[in-house]
């Protein structure tokens, strides 16, 4: 970073966002599935583990998120009200870290962090349903934090702008390898869509290493094994097949998967057209400024952006193999597109020096609009017993009562 002033500005943005999430989380009551899970939770860790194992065997493979969910329900509300903003902060900081790695950006950290928070607010389809509701937050927000943390070393190795600065001696230690393995298991054993997207990224990493014929460190191989093991424990759980079998679908394989592809395409166009389109427009502007003659030259200059855009598309269509679908799965495309937009904004700030002040004013205006929306939502939610839930998988009657139980 250029100065201490920039560091303080960045810390102020993070602190303000943390306090805001603290307020919003505190205003979000227990609702829907939370009531059902209250019957199975306990302050006794062994009893909680038994309940999580029961759900793993009968309901879903998401055992880690189920355990976290049971944990926050077992203790007073302030425990979740504190942990959830911390996880949201970790999520935003990880996104910023992905941006910084690809750009080497040190000068505009506060501005890029503001862009991260603005993107998460404006482009997340179900903000309350992903980041505030206990059930969804433990299953999506908390799990994507583990997934992004486990994928960060591999991303950094390939796309680090200023080269690798890692301590190679650390990569060979047993304890570091064990930590990478355990983090990989946590990252892989999350939610189906998040874990599948992580696996696509890791497979791409392995193909990249196979192509350049470079040896993978022992600790990173341990992390890869952990990710694949966690994903296998999630996907291959027998309860998942029983749950999928309970969903009424067309018996024709062609019609069934045709419907699923159409389903993903419809909701992707509905929710991701603006951020994805904006990312593509900014990429074109940057490539045009660099006078790239063709797509290949643009790809060579912006490999991280093209990789993340491709991974965004993959993160949507991995749900083709799932009978169920919820708008909350768009947490992963939103996170990936936020990284892309951050990288592109960093490039624009580097190219158009004369317009930096105007760009900062624009971010301030958007930030003010975001603050007005957030505090209006908090006030009306407190008065009516509801909280912002822009889109929902439930019908309108359920939506009206979702936060009144």
Each residue of 96-147: pLDDT tens digit?
999 999 888 777 888 899 999 999 988 988 888 889 888 888 889 999 999 9
Q: List Cβ neighbours of 393 (8 Å cut-off, separation of 6 or more).
A: 325, 326, 327, 328
CA 386 – CA 400 distance, rounded (Å): 8
- In the predicted structure, residue 393 carries a pLDDT above the cut 50: no
d(CA 142, CA 144): 6
Give the model confidence (pLDDT) of 70-88 as tens digits: 888 888 888 899 999 999 9
CA 352 – CA 302 distance, rounded (Å): 18
What domain range is 92 assigned to?
A: 4-165+172-246+255-401
Quick check: pTM over 0.85? Answer: yes
Residue bearing tokens 């030259």: 297
The total of other beta-carbon atoms located within 10 Å of residue 56's CB is: 21
Q: Which residues of 65-79 are buried (b: 16+ CB within 10 A; e: fewer)?
A: bbbbbbbbbbeeeee
Q: What is the pLDDT of residue 299?
A: 78
Comparison of pLDDT for 157 and 376, the residue scoring more: 157
- CA-CA-CA-CA torsion sign (130, 131, 136, 138): positive
The model's pLDDT over 149-167, given as tens digits with 9 standing for 90+, comes to 999 999 998 887 655 545 4
Average pLDDT, whole number, for the chain?
A: 81
DSSP-assigned letters across all residues of 290-326: TT--SHHHHHHH-HHHHHHHHHHHHHHHGGGG-S---
- pLDDT given for residue 396 in this prediction: 34
Tell me how far apart the alpha carbons of residues 387 and 379 are, in angstroms, rounded to a whole number: 9
Structure tokens at 396: 């309108």
Q: What is the pLDDT of residue 51?
A: 79
CA–CA distance, 53 with 58 (Å, rounded to integer):
9
Stretch 58-64: mean pLDDT, rounded? 80
Listed residue (334, 327, 329, 332) closest to 393, CA to CA: 327
pLDDT at position 397 is: 35
Q: Identify the pLDDT of residue 118.
A: 92
pLDDT tens-digit series, residues 194-242 = 999 999 999 999 998 888 878 888 889 999 999 999 999 888 877 666 5
Q: When comparing pLDDT for 106 and 286, which is higher? A: 286
- State the pLDDT at residue 227: 94
Quick one: which of 194, 185, 193 has its CA closest to 232? 185
Q: 41 falls in which pLDDT band (50, 70, 90)?
A: confident
Q: Find the mean pLDDT for residues 390-394.
A: 39
**What domain count does the chain have?**
1
pLDDT at 401 over 70: no
Residue 313 C-beta-side C-alpha neighbours within 13 Å: 8
């Amino acid at each position: 970073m250029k100065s201490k002033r920039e560091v303080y500005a960045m810390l102020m943005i993070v602190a303000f966002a943390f306090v805001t999430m603290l307020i919003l989380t505190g205003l979000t009551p227990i609702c829907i599935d939370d009531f059902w899970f209250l019957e199975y939770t306990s302050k006794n860790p062994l009893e909680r583990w038994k309940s999580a194992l029961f759900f793993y065997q009968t309901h879903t493979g998401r055992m880690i998120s189920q355990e976290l969910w049971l944990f926050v329900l077992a203790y007073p509300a302030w425990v979740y009200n504190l942990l959830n903003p911390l996880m949201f902060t970790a999520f935003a900081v990880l996104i910023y870290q992905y941006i910084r790695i690809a750009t080497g950006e040190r000068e505009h950290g506060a501005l890029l962090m503001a862009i991260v928070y603005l993107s998460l607010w404006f482009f997340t389809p179900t903000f309350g349903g992903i980041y505030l509701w206990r059930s969804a937050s433990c299953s999506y927000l908390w799990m994507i934090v583990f997934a992004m943390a486990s994928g960060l070393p591999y991303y950094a190795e390939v796309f680090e702008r200023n080269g690798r600065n890692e301590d190679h001696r650390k990569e060979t230690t047993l304890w570091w390898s064990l930590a990478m393995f355990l983090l990989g298991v946590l990252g892989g054993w999350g939610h189906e869509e998040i874990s599948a997207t992580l696996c696509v990224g890791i497979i791409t990493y392995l193909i990249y290493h196979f192509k350049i014929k470079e040896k993978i460190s022992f600790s990173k191989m341990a992390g890869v094994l952990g990710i694949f093991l966690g994903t296998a424990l999630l996907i291959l759980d027998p309860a998942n097949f029983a749950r999928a079998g309970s969903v009424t679908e067309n018996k024709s394989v062609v019609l069934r998967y045709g419907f699923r592809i159409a389903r993903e395409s419809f909701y992707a166009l509905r929710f991701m057209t603006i951020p994805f389109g904006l990312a593509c427009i900014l990429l074109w502007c940057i490539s045009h400024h660099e006078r790239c003659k063709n797509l290949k030259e643009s790809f060579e200059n912006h490999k991280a952006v093209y990789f993340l855009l491709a991974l965004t598309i993959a993160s949507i269509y991995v749900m083709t193999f799932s009978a169920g679908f919820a708008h909350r799965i768009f947490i992963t495309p939103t996170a990936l597109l936020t990284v892309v937009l951050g990288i592109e904004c960093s490039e624009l700030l580097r190219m158009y020096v004369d317009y930096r002040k105007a760009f900062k004013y624009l971010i301030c205006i958007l930030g003010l609009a975001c603050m007005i929306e957030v505090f209006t939502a908090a006030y009306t939610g407190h008065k009516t017993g509801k909280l912002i839930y822009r889109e929902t998988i439930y019908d309108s009657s359920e939506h009206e009562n979702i936060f009144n139980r």
